[in-house]
Structure 1
Amino acid sequence: MKDDFLYIEISNNIARLIRDKVLHAGDRLPSVRMLCQEHGISMNTAKRVFLELASQSLIESKPQSGYYVSQLPYQRLPIPAISNPSPVSSNSEPDELIRRVYSTRGKKGLTFFSIGVPSKELLPLAKLNKEILHAIRQLPASGTEYEQLQGNEELRRMIAARAISWGGHLRESDLITTAGGMNALSFCMMALGKRGDTIAMESPCYPGSLQLARSLGLKVLELPTHPITGVEIDALKKVVHKINLCLLVPNFNTPLGSCMPEENKKEIVALLAKHHIPLIEDDIYGDLYFGAQRPKCCKTFDQEGNVLLCSSFSKTLAPGYRVGWVAPGKYQEQVLKLKHAHAISSSTITQEAIANFLKNGRYDNHLRKMRLTLQQNYTHYINAITEYFPEDTKISRPQGGLALWVEFNKKVNTAELFEEAMKHKISIAPGRMFTLQDQFKNCMRLSLGLLLSEEVERKLKLLGRLVKSQTIQF
């Protein structure tokens, strides 16, 4: 177990040095023996480090010479430009497109590049089943009774304990459990906003958040967003007097996968607190980092209780369990009141099962394996896009999460690409889904949450051919 952890930690550290260009293409890496001496590990563990880096196409072996940093495929592909949404709020919802894409969910025989959740093959199903049975046996009345309003006490305690990983200081009393992450966001928006208020969000943004805001009668102001560093602070400063609340996904947002630097998070928290504007922080992807260390949250820098931190276990462990939570800061009473009115209680059995899964240390073991798989998928997708897609394709650089954002030239319409791909049993998420404005029609999001296989490789190759066929038509 210790060697497994060291092998992942060391390989992640070297991978980060390569991706951050501290180590350059052609640089020689330490030998297996030197790696053993530097880190106090066995020869087998050191070899596993190099095998892992090679599987990600980050290094290559030269006979009789050693290991060298390879030329990264994504370095040949540019990143998308900073988004440039209209500074005026819009409500042009792509309802029909969203309906068509999500109506494919559950259909057999499809390759789901469109759905941003991990596939069942990446989840610890057998262990979760045992926890469900254990919960039924241990809970009063086999889990049929209502849970207390704030939620399972042990689960809240475990979530609070995990806050140390992002520099947070939470107590179980600071938390409220919800029926998934969207339910947490819904309570926060209802508690803080009223019809006609304006909420600022990233652009592009998760379709569910956009639809939720519109359903509550909120006006959505989309903010320019950098594909690597997230929302542009200067753009937020210009409109801060126009908004009533703000929703951001600082860590590995979908669809860009951007991660906001710590200094940006700190500045945004201070800016919004100064103007008395609540910040709803969605950290649903924060545990899915590719590097050696989990990124901090905006909540880390919150001194006034102005940040409402939301998350869930839907993207990391069990989508169908619908277990989420919120740390609402100084708005706790408003959120509790809404939960009482709209839900009364959260699901008893699934909360207990996840609480035990966390308590037994199984969640961290699962996350280490899942992060490694997602990072390998990311590298594989990049290789495939470089080989099969048009040369002028642009891609994001996610440092974690489940999403890869792909931008084509203006000749490509990804809504039409979706229809054509469906004929070949491929489901994608067209870029127009992620905005309320007339933009991103030549973009798409690909989910990294699939189990790699020859079939996935074949579908990526076919998808590239379909994209090329659109460009030839013009």
Structure 2
Amino acid sequence: MKLYETYADEIAELIRQGVLQPGARLPSVRQAKQQRKLSASTVFEAYALLESRGMIHCRPRSGYYVQLRHGSQTPEPHTAAPAAESSPVAISDLVFEVLGSTRDERMVPLGSAFPSPKFFPLDKLAKALTPQMRRLAPAQLTGHLTAGDEQLRRLIALRYGTSGFRLEPSELVITNGAMEALNLSLQAITQPGDVVVLESPTFYAALQVLERLKLRAVEVATHPRTGVDLDSLAEVLRQHPVKACWFMPQFQNPLGSQMPVEAKQALVRLLTQHQVPLIEDDVYGELYYGHHRAPPAKAFDTEGLVLHCSSFSKSLAPGYRVGWVAAGRFAQQIQRIKLMASLATAIPSQLAIANYLETGGFDRHLRQMRLRLEDNASTALQCISRYFPTGSKVTRPQGGYFLWVELPPDLDALVVHRRASAAGISVAPGQLFSADQRFHHHLRLNFGFHDGSELATALRQLGALLVSP
């Protein structure tokens, strides 16, 4: 990163943390020069970059100030308080019914689970594949078949190492996307009828997996900003014979919540005391808005009880279906299940991504994508504050590309879904995100648009539908 980008990111982080409040005056160019030993041009470039992101503005003859962002006063949704009872899951029929519209390319994808494909360097990935296939040795086709390509596993472990914690390549199993990693993890540690703890609300795909494996769900209170409530989780662990927890500590889908580092440490400590494995779904971990990536829960695992699952689908290559699980003490067991289920992950996809990671460009791509998503988050909050009904509440995530909106109680999210679909807009109604379909006046909205103006137009149109009779 260039010097002005580094300084801009430091200021941006202070704004995100609330150290620099909306309306606060930034250090003058002269002060920044003296305090940071920077040139005037570096400071000007940094402030210009922050202006372009909409984070600060210049007042003539006065200086630079933190932007007063519309929507900053919109309250957060309530913390869910689910009943601490286990129940079977039957959600798939509703999921298939509701989300069928998201596959229609003519629909505005506020209900999609993926960011815009225009974010991804697909041409560069295609070019990375060609030389790898030409140099492919026959032994590579079967050499590391089930565990995955050795070089790709090494590069994934290296990325974790540069983020601050060590992960052994031998612990990694390459999978067909994160969904296979999560499925394999559950199969390795549960039997039909077992109890699994989920966040509330939770991602509907997790509910579908529990339904398919005939597992019982217990939902735990989850704060819209800080994630799983550990006191509630401790109570659930006392009341139920829990066999596994499936949590998303980083930018949870649908809330966008992020567990603080200390809470992740406490979570792993609590589950270790009870010897309950944690399946950590970390598919959005690379899409943070701050200066540094927070460590995952896996970083605090001392007994191999955390099965850390992720993929390149949300950050680099959605159609390549390359994910992984760092399975701790369960790695060999998961390899055996994968061998019986799908044998291996496609070699060409693995080689293309490995070559792309080696030749550079991934971090540059991620920086650009994060900046666009952060800008979109601000745009979406402004639009919700301006166009949505009085009494609406919304989350303010620090990563990912989802907002969780709590509408006034008289609005039924399924009715909203049908009206929006008729107008060419997809949304994800809240009923999809719990085993008992509780969140009847909530929506999950995807702001992962490549064009911010298209996002603003879609939210304005959706707001008009919500306030009209």
With the length of structure 2 as denominator, give the TM-score of the two structures.
0.95
Instruction: Give 1:127's aligned residue.
Output: 124
SS at match of 1:244: strand
**Residues 33-87 of structure 1 deviation map (CA, whole Å, 9 limit, x = unaligned):** 5445555556555334323333443322111211112323233100011111121
**Residues 175-209 of structure 1 deviation map (CA, whole Å, 9 limit, x = unaligned):** 11000000000000000000000000101111111
- Mapped pair 1:28 → 2:25: yes
- Mapped pair 1:325 → 2:324: yes
- Mapped pair 1:451 → 2:450: yes
Tell me if the contact between 2:195 and 2:216 (Cα under 8 Å) persists in the aligned partners. Answer: yes
SS at match of 1:444: strand
Matched to 2:102, the amino acid is: R
Deviates more, 1:208-217 or 1:84-93: 84-93
Mapping of residues 11-50 of structure 1, within 5 Å: 11-35=8-32, 38-39=35-36, 45-50=42-47
Instruction: Give 2:395's aligned residue.
Output: 396
Tell me if the contact between 1:143 and 1:349 (Cα under 8 Å) persists in the aligned partners. Answer: no
Aligned equivalents of 2:69 and 2:162: distance in 1? Answer: 30
Deviates more, 1:12-21 or 1:149-158: 12-21
SS at match of 2:102: coil
Tell me if the contact between 1:97 and 1:415 (Cα under 8 Å) persists in the aligned partners. Answer: no
- Mapped pair 1:117 → 2:140: no
- Mapped pair 1:217 → 2:214: yes
Matched to 2:252, the amino acid is: N
Matched to 1:323, the amino acid is: V
SS at match of 2:72: helix
In 2 relative to 1, CA 45–467 (structure 1 residues): closer, same or farther, beyond 3 Å?
Answer: farther
**Residues 250-309 of structure 1 deviation map (CA, whole Å, 9 limit, x = unaligned):** 111111111111111111111111111111111111111111110111111111111111
Tell me if the contact between 1:55 and 1:376 (Cα under 8 Å) persists in the aligned partners. Answer: no
Tell me if the contact between 2:72 and 2:381 (Cα under 8 Å) persists in the aligned partners. Answer: no
Instruction: Give 2:259's aligned residue.
Output: 260
Matched to 1:234, the amino acid is: D
Following superposition, the deviation at residue 453 of structure 1 comes to 4.2
**Residues 355-385 of structure 1 deviation map (CA, whole Å, 9 limit, x = unaligned):** 1111122211111111111111101111111
Deviates more, 1:33-42 or 1:416-425: 33-42
Instruction: Give 2:70's aligned residue.
Output: 73
Deviates more, 1:64-73 or 1:279-288: 64-73
Following superposition, the deviation at residue 91 of structure 1 comes to 3.4
Aligned equivalents of 2:373 and 2:397: distance in 1? Answer: 11
Instruction: Give 2:202's aligned residue.
Output: 205
Deviates more, 1:444-453 or 1:86-95: 86-95
Instruction: Give 1:230's aligned residue.
Output: 227
Aligned equivalents of 2:103 and 2:89: distance in 1? Answer: 27
**Residues 377-421 of structure 1 deviation map (CA, whole Å, 9 limit, x = unaligned):** 101111111111123211112111121111111011111111111
Tell me if the contact between 1:394 and 1:407 (Cα under 8 Å) persists in the aligned partners. Answer: yes
Matched to 1:259, the amino acid is: Q
Tell me if the contact between 2:101 and 2:421 (Cα under 8 Å) persists in the aligned partners. Answer: no
Aligned equivalents of 1:297 and 1:233: distance in 2? Answer: 16
- Mapped pair 1:334 → 2:369: no
SS at match of 1:201: strand
Tell me if the contact between 2:99 and 2:428 (Cα under 8 Å) persists in the aligned partners. Answer: no
Aligned length: 467
In 2 relative to 1, CA 313–357 (structure 1 residues): closer, same or farther, beyond 3 Å?
Answer: same
Tell me if the contact between 2:89 and 2:210 (Cα under 8 Å) persists in the aligned partners. Answer: no
Aligned equivalents of 1:101 and 1:41: distance in 2? Answer: 54
Aligned equivalents of 1:47 and 1:129: distance in 2? Answer: 38
Tell me if the contact between 1:388 and 1:465 (Cα under 8 Å) persists in the aligned partners. Answer: yes
SS at match of 2:234: helix
Instruction: Give 1:418's aligned residue.
Output: 417
In 2 relative to 1, CA 75–458 (structure 1 residues): closer, same or farther, beyond 3 Å?
Answer: closer
**Residues 412-454 of structure 1 deviation map (CA, whole Å, 9 limit, x = unaligned):** 1111111111122111111111111241111111112111243
SS at match of 2:165: coil
Aligned equivalents of 1:267 and 1:274: distance in 2? Answer: 11
Instruction: Give 1:434's aligned residue.
Output: 433
% same residue:
39
Aligned equivalents of 2:417 and 2:460: distance in 1? Answer: 15
Matched to 1:357, the amino acid is: Y
Following superposition, the deviation at residue 351 of structure 1 comes to 0.4
Structure 2 unmatched runs, 5+: none
SS at match of 2:88: coil
Tell me if the contact between 2:198 and 2:245 (Cα under 8 Å) persists in the aligned partners. Answer: yes
Aligned equivalents of 2:18 and 2:452: distance in 1? Answer: 30
> 1:98 pairs with 95, 99, 110, which one?
95
Matched to 1:15, the amino acid is: A
Instruction: Give 1:60's aligned residue.
Output: 57
> 2:172 pairs with 171, 175, 198, which one?
175
Tell me if the contact between 1:210 and 1:436 (Cα under 8 Å) persists in the aligned partners. Answer: yes
- Mapped pair 1:160 → 2:153: no
Tell me if the contact between 1:85 and 1:437 (Cα under 8 Å) persists in the aligned partners. Answer: no
With the length of structure 1 as denominator, give the TM-score of the two structures.
0.94
In 2 relative to 1, CA 457–25 (structure 1 residues): closer, same or farther, beyond 3 Å?
Answer: closer
Tell me if the contact between 1:93 and 1:435 (Cα under 8 Å) persists in the aligned partners. Answer: no
Aligned equivalents of 2:272 and 2:157: distance in 1? Answer: 23
In 2 relative to 1, CA 58–250 (structure 1 residues): closer, same or farther, beyond 3 Å?
Answer: same
Tell me if the contact between 2:413 and 2:443 (Cα under 8 Å) persists in the aligned partners. Answer: yes
Matched to 1:294, the amino acid is: R
SS at match of 2:334: helix
In 2 relative to 1, CA 157–382 (structure 1 residues): closer, same or farther, beyond 3 Å?
Answer: same
Aligned equivalents of 2:50 and 2:88: distance in 1? Answer: 45
**Residues 118-158 of structure 1 deviation map (CA, whole Å, 9 limit, x = unaligned):** 21111112111101212221212598667522101010000
Instruction: Give 1:372's aligned residue.
Output: 371
Aligned equivalents of 1:127 and 1:320: distance in 2? Answer: 14
Aligned equivalents of 1:443 and 1:351: distance in 2? Answer: 38
Please report the RMSD computed on the Cα atoms of aligned residues, expressed in angstroms: 1.9
Tell me if the contact between 1:116 and 1:402 (Cα under 8 Å) persists in the aligned partners. Answer: no
Matched to 1:297, the amino acid is: P
- Mapped pair 1:136 → 2:148: no
